[in-house]
Amino acid sequence: MSKIKIVTDSTADLPLDLIKQYDITVVPLAVNFGSTSYLEGTEISPKDFYTKLSASEILPTTSQPSPGDFATVFKELAENGAEEIVSIHLSSKLSGTYQSALLGKSMLADSIKVNVFDSQVVTMGLGLIVIAAARAAKEGNNIEEISRIITDLQSKMNIFFVVDTLEYLQKGGRIGKASSVMGALLNIKPILTLADGEVHPYEKVRGKGKALERLIEIANTNIPSDQKIQCAIVHSSCLDTALKLHEKVLEQFNCTEIFISDIGAVVGTHVGPGTIALIFYII
């Protein structure tokens, strides 16, 4: 059994079977509907979250784990036999979770060895990095080798996603109300990407069907012919769309693995239901 334990946070959107298979510890972020707070993944499922979101007149808020939460997790892992801990988190430009993990590490005795990483990505971009690190740990790789894998994947990860409505970006202050209304009238589906740890606009497409086609075309321009890729498709309450994209990806690309996962409550707060993302890296 590996003495290196892998920790991440709930925004990795990892399927439960992978969490169990690789003995990954997940520290939850919280989503807050008014004065009621729910821990993502343990107290509220994606399905329940999107039901609440559609019924809520105001946008929920999200909150990161405290340094004390991380310190408790790290200490328990060490007490249960972990010789070193690798803690990998969503982009520090999107959340203070990474900083909170660093502060949690600083609260511990020097004998507890914790290595904290800013993945510079989120959702299954983070999840794919965590899976690779957990597999490396299970195979007996040391901390230097695992660190190299994480650093390598940070620079190789590609994330492109389509939001179904601009409403949630507008509610969260990402765009103006006029842009949201005009987008709805014109059936605009913005394609966004993650670069240098931040969300950036990539292009705008009319209609969801065209947007899915563009995701495939964009991937084609980024994947050399016959190259193997590791891939994930994530969605917020639109499994049918995810399955259609899954079929197209399998037809077009040489995937060693392809995962389908739900976008959880924290990321879902900012992108809303109907969002679909294609995430991949070249092996």
User: How many domains, in total, are found in the chain?
Assistant: 2
Q: Is residue 54 part of a domain?
A: no
Identify whether the C-beta of residue 157 lies closer than 8 Å to the C-beta of residue 195: no
Across the range 213-226, mean pLDDT stands at: 93
pLDDT tens digits for range 52-61: 998 988 889 9
- Which residues lie across from 262 on neighbouring strands? 235
User: Quick one: 101 and 90 in the same domain?
Assistant: yes
Q: What are phi and psi of 140, to 5 degrees?
A: 95, 10
Q: Which of the residue ranges 90-99, 108-117, 207-216, 244-253 would you say has the lowest mean pLDDT?
A: 207-216
User: Quick one: 276 and 188 in the same domain?
Assistant: yes
SS3 235: strand
Across the range 95-101, mean pLDDT stands at: 97
pLDDT tens digits for range 228-273: 999 999 999 999 999 999 999 999 999 999 999 999 999 999 889 9
User: How many residues comprise the chain?
Assistant: 283
Q: How confident is the model at residue 208 (pLDDT cuts 50, 70, 90)?
A: confident
Domain with residue 259: its CATH number is 3.30.1180.10
Domain boundary among 88, 123, 155: 155
Q: Containing domain of residue 123, as a range? A: 4-29+64-155
Domain with residue 8: its CATH number is 3.40.50.10170
- The residue among 131, 74, 70 whose CA lies nearest residue 98 is 70
Domain boundary among 155, 182, 207: 155
- In terms of pTM, does the model score above 0.85? yes
Q: Is residue 77 part of a domain?
A: yes
User: Quick one: 163 and 96 in the same domain?
Assistant: no
The per-residue pLDDT for 32 is: 96
User: Quick one: 221 and 95 in the same domain?
Assistant: no
User: Quick one: 92 and 219 in the same domain?
Assistant: no
pLDDT tens digits for range 33-43: 999 999 999 99
User: Quick one: 134 and 18 in the same domain?
Assistant: yes
User: Quick one: 8 and 141 in the same domain?
Assistant: yes
271, amino acid identity: V
Q: Which of the residue ranges 107-116, 129-138, 204-213, 228-237 would you say has the lowest mean pLDDT?
A: 204-213
The per-residue pLDDT for 227 is: 94
User: Quick one: 16 and 129 in the same domain?
Assistant: yes
pLDDT tens digits for range 103-124: 999 999 999 999 999 999 999 9
pLDDT tens digits for range 58-80: 889 999 999 999 999 999 999 99
pLDDT tens digits for range 139-190: 999 999 999 999 999 999 999 999 887 667 656 544 444 343 344 434 678 8
Q: Is residue 17 part of a domain?
A: yes
pLDDT at 193 over 60: yes
240, amino acid identity: D
Residues 6+ apart with CB under 8 A from 223: 229, 253, 280, 282
Domain boundary among 123, 155, 187: 155
The per-residue pLDDT for 170 is: 57
Long-range CB contact pairs, 253-258, < 8 A, 24+: 253/219, 253/223, 253/229, 253/280, 254/226, 254/227, 254/228, 254/229, 255/228, 255/229, 255/230, 255/231, 256/228, 256/229, 256/230, 256/283, 257/230, 257/231, 258/231, 258/232, 258/233
Q: Is residue 228 part of a domain?
A: yes
